[in-house]
A = this chain, B = another copy of it.
Amino acid sequence: MIGIFDSGFGGLTVMKEYLRKYPEFDYVYLGDQANAPYGPHSKERVEALTLKNIDFLVKKDCELIIVACNTASAEALRAAQQKYKGKPTILGVLVPAVEEALKQTRFGNIGVIGTSGVIKSKAYERELAKYGVLYVPSDKRSRKEIKACPLLVPLIEEGLVDHPATRMILKNYLRPLKHANIDTLILGCTHYPLLQKEIARIMGKNCQLISSAKAAADAIESYFEAHPDLLKKLSKKGKRQYLTTDCPERFAEIGGKFLGERIKVEKVEI
């Protein structure tokens, strides 16, 4: 079984990509709604919460766990990987997004938008610096503009995706990135694919968007190629289970919008 963990609904954009690519696998999705959003929490708090939720998925016998939340990936993935040492495999969404951005960028001008937690953690900055050397070694002028956009998640969850106020706030957030002439923008939050059209319109056709959700699902393909044993172990009965730590009604309503289908949600105590 594949476990997909997120602080709330955002990880459903990752789940959606997985379901499109691998509909045959069994999935359990866990949204820690009781403690969402993770964005404004401290690193210690995000780490403690993430480990507790991963423990739960490990007990459910997941052979592969995707931390489908940029904040948790940035602040707690390493701790989780160190705790479980590959049993089960635990992957995040941050490295795939950076790798994809570095493949796609033409001039090495990469921007990132994310929640306060993601940006504060500097995880994208560190990853970009690390991989940057491998992928764009000759480009010394390469800029990495990073911007925290804490209002986008609440605006999306309020259903204001097409609202002029959202457009105005987006323009505000994106202005420095546009001025910096970035050619590639990482959507460093799994909620943001829902704003992809509007972000693309503002950034213009010279800037490519990298969805961390799509990048994470794409990256798993080569991961499976390198780890055929993992691929074999995963159960394939097409089961889906949606779990939340708070208010299943709200989860079903908003989550349904993310997935584009009606879902049945159970509440769990963690």
Please give the residue numbers on chain A whose beta carbons come within 8 Å of chain B beta carbons, in ascending order.
33-36, 40-42, 45, 150-151, 154-155, 157-158, 160, 163-166, 168-169, 172, 246-247, 250
Q: Give A124 to B150 CA distance when docked, in angstroms.
A: 30
Contact of A250 among B36, B40, B151, B168 (CB under 8 A): B40
Please, which residue of chain B has its CB at the minimum distance from the CB of A170? B165
Contact B41 A246 (CB under 8 A): yes
Enumerate chain B residues within 8 angstroms of A169, measured Cβ to Cβ.
160, 163, 165
Main DSSP-derived SS at the A contact region: helix
Enumerate chain B residues within 8 angstroms of A36, measured Cβ to Cβ.
40
Contact B164 A168 (CB under 8 A): yes
Q: Give A270 to B150 CA distance when docked, in angstroms.
A: 26
Contact B41 A45 (CB under 8 A): no
Q: Give A45 to B36 CA distance when docked, in angstroms.
A: 12
Contact of A246 among B42, B158, B163 (CB under 8 A): B42
Contact A246 B45 (CB under 8 A): yes
Q: Give A16 to B246 CA distance when docked, in angstroms.
A: 33
Distance (Å) between the CB of A122 and the closest chain B CB?
A: 16
Enumerate chain B residues within 8 angstroms of A250, measured Cβ to Cβ.
40, 42
Contact B150 A154 (CB under 8 A): yes
Distance (Å) between the CB of A141 and the closest chain B CB?
A: 32
Q: Give A165 to B154 CA distance when docked, in angstroms.
A: 14
Q: Give A155 to B33 CA distance when docked, in angstroms.
A: 21
Enumerate chain B residues within 8 angstroms of A163, measured Cβ to Cβ.
168-169, 172
Distance (Å) between the CB of A41 and the closest chain B CB?
A: 6
Please, which residue of chain B has its CB at the minimum distance from the CB of A46? B246
Contact of A151 among B42, B160, B246 (CB under 8 A): B160
Contact B150 A158 (CB under 8 A): yes
Enumerate chain B residues within 8 angstroms of A155, measured Cβ to Cβ.
151
Q: Give A163 to B172 CA distance when docked, in angstroms.
A: 10
Q: Give A143 to B89 CA distance when docked, in angstroms.
A: 58
